[in-house]
Amino acid sequence: MSHPYRWVIVAVGGLLGCVAAGAMFSLPVFLRPMAQDTGWSVTGISTAMTIAFLAMGAASLAWGSLSDRYGPRPVVLAGSVVLAASLALASRATSLGGFQLLFGLLVGGSIAAIFAPMMACVTGWFDTQRSLAVSLVSAGMGMAPMTMAPLAAWLVTAQGWRGAMLAIAGIVAALMIPAALLVRRPPALEAAQAGMAVDERPADMAVAHAVRSRQFVLLMLANFFCCATHSGPIFHTVSYAVTCGIPMIAAVSIYSIEGLAGMFGRIGFGLAGDRFGAQRVLVVGLLAQAFAVLAYVSVSRLGGFYAVAAVVGFIYAGTMPLYAVIIRENFPMKMMGTIIGASAMAGSLGMSTGPLLGGLIYDRMSSYTLMYVGSWGMGLAAMLVLMAFRPFSRSRSAAVGAG
């Protein structure tokens, strides 16, 4: 498919992902200032992020199914509006429970309307260079640590966490709502909706069969363990660096280094996926990720944090887009929103483990070492699960697709 608008979709997806991810992942930057200002515990504030990931997981499948039915534009637009409103409300929260509800349920649920529908949309616009296109959209999301995180750190220093979060709500509204209006349904999906024949592999697979297949279950498990591997290190590394005596602004720069490396990782893994196959590249990436997060245990100075963050960012950011590519290679376009939404749900559940468990471990042990060791184990589990994945056989695809 060579429609020039496909690259507009990539750019829009990258922008939407950057702002949405940046809004949600500003919470680690706010973690200590919020605790000091309100007296809320680190675990309590971290739980808001856990709730957000759970809400994202619960909502991803629903938003993905709606995007299959109505197209991605109305879904993404609705998510952008709700995200801006929920951040504004969360900035005014006067109790920990209220903040957990507003930031957790509403922010997490609204962001689910962005990620899965846009990934599904992009896979539908590309027949060639698909790994690269999906990785470029993901690279936009990876810009968040280099843009939104430093901005959040500056805002919270200048205005306090409430003013900073309200300002971020305004940025979300100003950028995401206009961008959402540029989203278009993939031509392949338009043709299918019009009753035209579309070359699909396998064409007539039903959603009920898809979600019961071994391929689906293994991809969901791999995504869960993969996200569980890096969720704790992503969320708590700024706090960990501060406990090592590194100033907050410098600690936030570790996050930015991770994001910058992730940009190169997404492009590198995307190009490698197109050349060597998404699954093969992903297996290697998962093994490398496990040992990369474990390396945080051995660092305590800024230079060491920078080195490990660069490696971790390169690998985890590069692996994530490849799940959508594997899904597109194994399931029909007509259910991309649903299946990628389910994958996002599994990933969100994995992401929900890190903030809470890391907070509990630190509050009880005054150390993050056990969190990084646990992340290493999750990474090895993700690799082993994905190694067991086998694509649908050609004969099975032909049988299912006949009709």
Q: In this structure, what CATH number is given to the domain that contains residue 335?
A: 1.20.1250.20
- Cβ–Cβ < 8 Å for 359, 46: yes
Residue 320 in any domain: the answer is yes
pLDDT in tens, 200-236: 555 567 777 888 889 999 999 999 999 999 988 888 8
Residues of the domain holding 358: 5-188+199-401
- Cβ–Cβ < 8 Å for 112, 59: yes
DSSP, res 101: I
- The per-residue pLDDT of the chain, averaged, comes to 85
Structurally, the chain folds into a number of domains equal to: 1
Residue 58 in any domain: the answer is yes
Residues 183-207 have a mean pLDDT of 64
pLDDT band at 401 (very low <50, low <70, confident <90, very high): very low
Residue 193 in any domain: the answer is no
Residue 194 in any domain: the answer is no
Residue 329 in any domain: the answer is yes
Residues 24-28 have a mean pLDDT of 84
DSSP, res 335: G
Report whether pLDDT(395) > 50: no
CB atoms within 10 A of CB 338: 25
pLDDT band at 79 (very low <50, low <70, confident <90, very high): very high
Sign of torsion over alpha carbons 277, 293, 324, 123: negative
Identify which of 233, 242, 210 has the alpha carbon closest to the alpha carbon of residue 309: 233
Question: Which has more confidence, 14 or 256?
Answer: 14
Residues 402/189/82/346 CA torsion (nearest 10 deg): 30
Residue 161 in any domain: the answer is yes
Residues 2-31 have a mean pLDDT of 86
Pick from 151-165, 201-215, 324-338: least confident = 201-215
Question: Which has more confidence, 251 or 310?
Answer: 310
**CA–CA separation, 371 vs 401, rounded Å?**
46
Residue 382 in any domain: the answer is yes
